[in-house]
Amino acid sequence: MYLYIYIFIKILFVQMFKIAIISQKGGAGKTTLAINLAVEAERQNLSSLLLDLDPQSSSTEWGDARAEDYPVVMSTHASRMNKLIDKAESSNAKFVFIDTAPHSENSALEAAKIADIVLIPCRAGILDIKAIQSSLNICSLAKTNALVVLNAIPSQHAIADEAREAIKIIGGHLCQFSIGQRIAFNHAMTIGQGVVEFDIKSKASIEIQNIFNLINKVITNDYKK
């Protein structure tokens, strides 16, 4: 009985979850996914840190445009990640989201090693699907589980179905929820918001909520084991 109480207390008060968003191809939607998941975490009263490893600093610029001071967004290098994560944990943060840079295997590998789970956003094009192989290899080296999140999916169901089959063939584990090609993401990004703030009832908002709830459940269950 005391063991179960101890585990419950650890989960409730100590454990902080780290999620890396990785893609070696530019334009896959890493930043959009990272900032929207961080905002959804905050909406659920789970304090979050968003680390921006991309030299283009898109997440940081989005953070600068926000009226709210949450989630905390910090531009940094892979070498400083552990220090910032330790500070976040000591401040009782519940989630850290790591927005990595494309074409940077070293920083992506460091982020994957730190992470409890890796998300790999991927568009439905054949070149995009082929490009995720390098991201899957990085996760394999880091020995960290990864979920491929289909992103910016057009309305034609056949395209999404073909993409799912192609990802399975190359060994990717698909997230059961995908993200459609939604203008709400662009509108929200422009004014420094997440889609759950911009329009909580939108399809884009529901997609983000579904993905966040899924990964929260997955990593919580893994920790309990």
Whether pLDDT at 150 is above 80: yes
pLDDT confidence of residue 224: 57
Whether pLDDT at 23 is above 60: yes
Give CA angle at 132 (210, 53), nearest 5°: 75
pLDDT confidence of residue 223: 60
Whether pLDDT at 46 is above 80: yes
Whether pLDDT at 10 is above 60: no
Whether pLDDT at 104 is above 50: yes
Residue 89: band (very low, low, confident or very high) from pLDDT cuts 50, 70, 90? very high
Residue 158: band (very low, low, confident or very high) from pLDDT cuts 50, 70, 90? confident
Q: Cα(72)–Cα(134) distance, rounded to whole angstroms?
A: 30
pLDDT confidence of residue 203: 97
> Mean pLDDT in the chain?
91
pTM, full prediction? 0.91
Whether pLDDT at 152 is above 60: yes
CB 185 within 8 A of CB 28: no
CB 96 within 8 A of CB 15: no
Residue 80: band (very low, low, confident or very high) from pLDDT cuts 50, 70, 90? very high
Mean pLDDT of 143-164: 91
Cα dihedral 59→41→123→156 (10° resolution)? -130
